[in-house]
């Protein structure tokens, strides 16, 4: 059985300030670094075999907290970056809502291609699911930790499970430094492939 832990990065000032990050390289703030250290201590108990991360610093630095405890090297993968938010990157959500009300409403409603240069959900899912599967293939039967971003994690996990966008949307957003656990039982007799084992798991005191 292969276990895949898809871990969202720690808090940033963009998170705290209500700004859209997308692929902007916003660093962890002090709270995010504390979250990463606490979550890493819990994740280390799973004895991971492989550690793969988005190459954006907030994800890579989150992964570094686990690397320092386990001695694992971090394999960077740009396919694990967050959804590209086009014209909205770096902007406040409140400003976006007032300046682009039609596109904002489409995005909130789950439209896969809301406009304003935002990466489509299908394109996001395609690149992230490929990265997740490639990461899992690095340790068949082992435990793989992948550090990524909230939107990327949800869309990639949904695609790995074979869910349509409507079903993927029912997954709650990952909190900072929380993770989704997937297991692949296809190598067992009668296995059925990837299954959702747990979602939004993390240190209980963290929000």
Residue 119 appears among annotated catalytic residues = no
The domain 7-201 is classified under which CATH number: 3.40.50.1240, 3.40.50.280, 3.40.30.10, 3.20.20.70?
A: 3.40.50.1240
Binding positions for substrate: 8-15, 58
Catalytic residue among 9, 100, 149, 178: 9
Q: Which residue would you say has higher pLDDT here, 207 or 25?
A: 25
Average pLDDT over the chain reads 95
207, pLDDT greater than 70: no
Catalytic-labelled residue, pool 60, 82, 103, 178 = 82
Residue spans per domain, the chain: 7-201
pLDDT one-digit tens code per residue, 113-171: 999 999 999 999 999 999 999 999 999 999 999 999 999 999 999 999 999 999 999 99
What does the pLDDT read at residue 196?
97
Beta bridge partners of 19: 92
For the entire predicted model, the pTM comes to: 0.95
Q: What is the pLDDT of residue 204?
A: 83
Q: Is the pLDDT of residue 60 over 90?
A: yes
Work out the average pLDDT over 98-106.
97
Contact 171, 190 (CB under 8 A): no
Sheet holding 179-184, edge to edge: 74-76, 50-53, 143-148, 2-8, 179-184, 194-201
Active site residue 149: no
Q: Is the pLDDT of residue 25 over 80?
A: yes
Predicted local confidence at residue 39, as pLDDT: 98
């Amino acid at each position: 059985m292969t276990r895949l832990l898809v871990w969202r990065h720690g808090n940033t000032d963009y998170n705290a300030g209500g700004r859209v990050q997308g692929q902007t390289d916003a660093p962890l703030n002090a709270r995010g670094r504390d979250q990463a250290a606490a979550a890493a201590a819990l994740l280390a108990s799973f004895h991971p075999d492989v550690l793969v991360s988005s190459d954006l610093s907030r994800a890579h630095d989150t992964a570094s907290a686990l690397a320092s405890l386990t001695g694992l090297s971090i394999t960077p993968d740009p396919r694990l970056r967050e959804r590209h938010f086009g014209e909205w990157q770096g902007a406040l959500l409140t400003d976006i809502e007032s300046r682009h009300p039609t596109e904002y409403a489409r995005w909130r409603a789950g439209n896969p291609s809301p406009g304003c240069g935002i990466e489509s959900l299908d394109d996001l899912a395609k690149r992230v699911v490929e990265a997740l599967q490639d990461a899992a293939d690095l340790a068949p039967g082992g435990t793989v930790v992948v550090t990524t971003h909230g939107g990327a994690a949800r869309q990639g996990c949904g695609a790995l499970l074979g869910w349509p966008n409507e079903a993927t949307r029912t997954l709650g957003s990952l909190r900072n430094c929380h993770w989704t656990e997937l297991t692949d039982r296809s190598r067992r007799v009668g296995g059925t492939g990837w299954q959702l084992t747990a979602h939004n798991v993390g240190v209980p005191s963290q929000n």
